[in-house]
Structure 1
Amino acid sequence: MWQTVAVASVFFPGLFALSIRSLGWIAPAWSLKERIILSGRLVSSIQAVMATTSGMIVVLNIDDVIHGRHWLACEYIWIVLPYMVYDVYIMYLCHWHKCQEKGTVERKYSLASVKNFLQRERLMVAHHLFILIVLTPVTTRLRGELGDFFVGCIFTAELSTPFVSLGKILMQLNMQDSLLHKVNGILILVTFFLCRILLFPYMYWAYARYAGIPLYQAPFRIPMHCNVSNALLIAPQLYWFVLICRKAVRLYGSSPAKSR
C-alpha cells in the first residue's frame, strides 16, 4: 500500500515535469502556460489508460461479481489517491496561468487566487474530494472483501478521458476545424455515454443477474450507501454529458454554408 502511494506520488509529478521540459525542447516558442496545460492533459490521459486497463483486467477476470477477487481492484486505488491530489494542484496551476494571461495580478497561492479557482472549478474539485474522502475508504475498507468487480467497473469510466484530452489538445493547436477533431468528438460522445452513463445501469444489471432477480429490484437489495455513492458519482457525469452534447450540436450542427 504505502509503496504504491509513494511510487504514484513521484510518478505523476515526475511525468508532468518531464513533459514540460520535453515540450520546451520540441516547441521552444510555446509559453510556459501552454506547456503546463498540454503536459497536464498528457499525464491525465496516461492515468486514464492505466485506470481503464486495470478496470478491464479486473472485470474480465472475475466471474462472481460479489465475492470474486483481483489484486488490482485494491492496489490501483492507492494509485488513484495521490493522482487526485496531484490533479487538483495541476488544475489550480493551469487556472492561475490562464488568469495571468488575462491580466489578473493575483499572487500565486494567495487566498484570493485559491478562492477564485474553487469558485470556477467547484464541481470538478468536489468530484475529486468525493473520490478522496468518500470513495477511497468505501473501496478500501468499508466494503470488506466484496465487490472487486464493481470497483473494476468504476475504473473503466476513465475510457473517455484520453479523447476529451485529445479534443482540448487539438483546440490548443488550433485544429478544431480538422477532421480528426470531429471524429474525436464522436468518440468522446460514445465513450462517455457508455462508460460514464450506461456503466451504472450495467452494474445494477450485473448484480441482478448474479442474484437472480429482476433489474428493478437490484437497488433495493444492495446497501443504501452503494446507491448513494452511485447517485453522487453519476450526477456530475450527467451534467458533463449535457455539456458535451451541446458542444457536439455546435460542432456538427452548423453546415458549411452557415460557416461561410
Structure 2
Amino acid sequence: MFSALAFGAVLFPGLFYSFTEVLRTTFKHWSDADVVSVSERLVSAIHAALATTAGVIVVTSCRNTMTDTHWLVNGFILFGTPYMAFDIYAMYLSHYHIQRVRGHSRSYSGHSLQTVKTFLMKDWMLVLHHLVLLLVFMPIALFLRRDLGDFFVGCLFTTEFSTPFISIGKILIQLGLDDTRLHRANGIMVLLSFFLCRILVFPFMYWMYGQQFGIPLHRVAFHLPLQCNVGNLVILAPQVYWFIMLLRKAKRLYLRQKRSTADGDKSSPRTD
C-alpha cells in the first residue's frame, strides 16, 4: 500500500515541473510568476479531480456508513499525502515570484526566512489547513479509525469537487478572459460546487448516519463521539470562511460589471 505514497511523491512534483516547462515554452511572454501560478493550479485541479472520483466511488460503494470498507480510502490517503506537502511548497513558490513581479525585488532578491515568514502571514489559513490534514487527520484516518467510517472519509474526498473550478477561474484570469461569459459561468459553478460539496456535505453525512440508525438529524451530533464533532467543526470552519470570501468577491465582480455596463450605456450614441 505504501507504493501509493511513493507514486504520489513522484507524480505531483513531476506534473508541476512538467507544466512549468511546457508553459515557459508555449507562453514565452509569461513571467515566472505566471508560469508557477498556473502550474500550481493545474496540479491542484488534477489532484482534486482524482480525490472527487475516489470519493464518489467510496460513497456509492459503502452501504453501511460505519462498517463498510473500501481499499481506495487508505490507498488514496497515502497517495494524496505527498500532494499536501508539495502544495505548500508550490504555493510558496507562487507567492515568491508574484511578489517579485509586483515590485518587491529588493525584499525578494532571494529565498530567505523573511520571504517564508511573509508567505506564512499571507496564506496562514491555507497552510494551516494543509498541515492539519497532514499531521492530524492523515494519521487518524490511517491508524486510529480501526477501519470504521470509510463512507465519511469518502464524503470528505468529494469536498475537492470545487477546486478545479477555482483553478479554472484563476487560469482564465491569467489568460485575460476574466470579462467573458465563460468566466462568469465558471464563477457560478465555483459557488454552487463549493456550497454543495464543502458546506452541505457535513449535514449530509449526519443525515445519512441518522437514516441508518433511526436518529433525527438534529440529534445525530449527540450520538457521535466528541472528537468526531470537533473534527468536523475544524474542517468546516475554514470552508465557511472561504465561502463567505467567495460570496464577497462575487458581489464585487457583479457590481463592477454592472457599473461598466451602465457606463457603456451612457456613452453609447442615441439612435432615436
TM-score after normalising by structure 1: 0.97
* Contact 1:107 1:113 (C-alpha < 8 Å) held by counterparts: no
Match of 1:216 among 215, 218, 224: 218
1:54 matched residue in structure 2: 54
2:80 matched residue in structure 1: 80
Pair 1:250–1:5, CA change in 2 (3 A): same
Pair 1:196–1:259, CA change in 2 (3 A): farther
Q: Rg: which structure is higher?
A: 2
1:28 matched residue in structure 2: 28
* Contact 1:54 1:155 (C-alpha < 8 Å) held by counterparts: yes
The range that moved more, 39-48 or 243-252, is 243-252
Percent identity over the alignment is 46
Match of 1:229 among 228, 231, 234: 231
Q: Report the residue type matching 1:16 in the other structure.
A: F
CA RMSD across the alignment? 1.2
Pair 1:183–1:242, CA change in 2 (3 A): same
Alignment of 1:244-259 (within 5 A): 244-253=246-255, 254-255=257-258, 256-259=260-263
Shift in Å, 1:102? 2.1
2:206 matched residue in structure 1: 204
* Contact 1:52 1:157 (C-alpha < 8 Å) held by counterparts: yes
The range that moved more, 30-39 or 57-66, is 30-39
Shift in Å, 1:228? 0.6
Gaps of 5+ in 1: none
The residue matched to 1:35 in structure 2 has which SS? Answer: helix
Shift in Å, 1:107? 4.5
Number of equivalences:
260
Moved over 6 A (4+): none
Q: Report the residue type matching 1:116 in the other structure.
A: T
1:176 correspondence with 2:173: no
The one-character-per-residue Cα deviations of 1:39-76 (angstroms, maximum 9, x if unpaired) are 11001000000000000000011101100111111110
Mapped to 2, the partners of 1:257 and 1:52 lie a distance apart of 38
The one-character-per-residue Cα deviations of 1:183-228 (angstroms, maximum 9, x if unpaired) are 0010001000000000000000011111111111111111111111
The residue matched to 2:134 in structure 1 has which SS? Answer: helix
TM-score after normalising by structure 2: 0.93
Gaps of 5+ in 2: 265-272
Q: Report the residue type matching 2:86 in the other structure.
A: Y
* Contact 1:41 1:169 (C-alpha < 8 Å) held by counterparts: yes
